[in-house]
Chains A and B, each alone.
Chain A
Amino acid sequence: MIQRMVVSALLAGFAAGLVAALLHFAFVQPKILLAEQYESGALVHFEGAKTGVGAAHDQTAHDHAAPADAPADASAGTAAESTTAAQPAAHDHPATDEAEASPLKRNALTAAFYGLTYVSYGLLLVAAFAAVEQTGRQVTAAEGLLWGLAGFAVFQLAPAMGLEPELPGTPAADLAARQIWWWGTAASTAMGLAALAYGSGPLRWALGLVLLALPHVIGAPHMDGFGGVAPPELASTFAARTLGVSLVAWLSLGYLATRLWAEAER
């Protein structure tokens, strides 16, 4: 049984990770690179408006056009050159500097870690398949997309409703507290969905809904106030795209994992 589980998870996980990586490079990476320009201070959101109001018509006020005019999908180099409102780097971010030196290495690592992440999801998913089959039920390929939706809800949507996917350069609450909330939310959402899908009797509705709601009633850890340096439009586009990408990747994972799982049984 272990072999059936691991093989299904590995194959489906790497394929879904590849889907995630390709969509990431098309939709998400340009937003990260642009946000890093704001993080490093190469671009400054609303800088022109602020100095324009405060210091009447000094030099910087005339040069403010860049943030709004910078092409949304600009690569690191061109957007930096297009702005004259550049400030000396206010924040240090060594990871960024290193990554800019070698985008190929950076993107290869991203693809590899998508593979690892989705193989991990795949292992958890097939463990759930096996647990369900212990109760005498079957997991069929026809349920694949439902499993994918459930995984998306557990690992992406429910956590994102409390802890928004963050652009680089967004300050946030204590890391350990956020990680604990993240894992607790995933566990509670998974148990809630399991109660709704496999429980019996009217009590399962109550139990399922309580488990789904609990993390959000407790609430995710947050800072007082907001400190993001990137424009809100950029942050919201980023959040929406990360959820879209992971939805497609999770549907692929659910479909492939149930297919392989059912095939391996024969």
Chain B
Amino acid sequence: MTPSGVTAKEFDMTTQTKVAAKPASALLSILFVALLGATSLFVAGHAQSATLHDAAHDVRHSSGFPCH
């Protein structure tokens, strides 16, 4: 959906310019979200605290995570 008075092409161009204007911050955001995902996946599936292991036991076995 484009704002009124703007053609789809113009809107696309503005969007592209916005993205291109901040490549460094965009890359940082991507890196941050990817690290967040990898860390929480590690906590859920791989971290070896006894409490975490017991709590996540059935999920770990069923998700194919290497478990004890």
Contacts and interface: CB of A to CB of B under 8 A. Distances in A.
A11 interface: no
Contact of B23 (A122, A124, A134, A181): A134
B34 interface: yes
The DSSP consensus for interface residues of chain B is helix
Interface stretch (A58-66, A83-91, A159-167): A159-167
Nearest to A133: B19
A207 interface: no
A228 to B, nearest CB: 13
A28 B64 CA distance: 12
Contacts of B55: 109, 113
Given A95-B54, A156-B63, A116 B43 contact: yes
A120 B44 contact: yes
B34 A127 contact: yes
Residues of B in contact with A, size category: 35 or more
Given A1-B29, A134-B23, A127 B62 contact: no
A166 B67 contact: yes
Nearest to B57: A95
A181 B54 CA distance: 23
B68 A117 contact: no
B37 A29 contact: no
A90 to B, nearest CB: 17
Interface stretch (A69-77, A171-179, A198-206, A208-216): A171-179
A6 B62 contact: no
Contacts of B36: 123
Nearest to B22: A1
Given A5-B33, A120-B40, A113 B59 contact: yes
Interface in B18-68: 19, 23, 26-27, 29-34, 36-38, 40-41, 43-46, 48, 53-59, 61-68
B57 to A, nearest CB: 6
Contacts of B32: 2
A182 interface: yes
Nearest to B52: A113
Contacts of A266: 1
B4 interface: no
Given A99-B57, A136-B16, A166-B61, A123 B37 contact: yes
9 contacts: A98-B54, A117-B45, A120-B37, A124-B34, A167-B61, A181-B66, A182-B65, A242-B62, A246-B63
A123 B44 CA distance: 14
Interface in A2-33: 2, 5-6, 9, 24, 28-29, 32
A175 B65 CA distance: 10
B67 A123 contact: no
B26 A1 contact: yes
B33 A6 contact: yes
Given A117-B45, A122-B37, A131-B30, A179 B53 contact: no
A9 B33 contact: yes
Given A123-B40, A175-B68, A32 B62 contact: yes
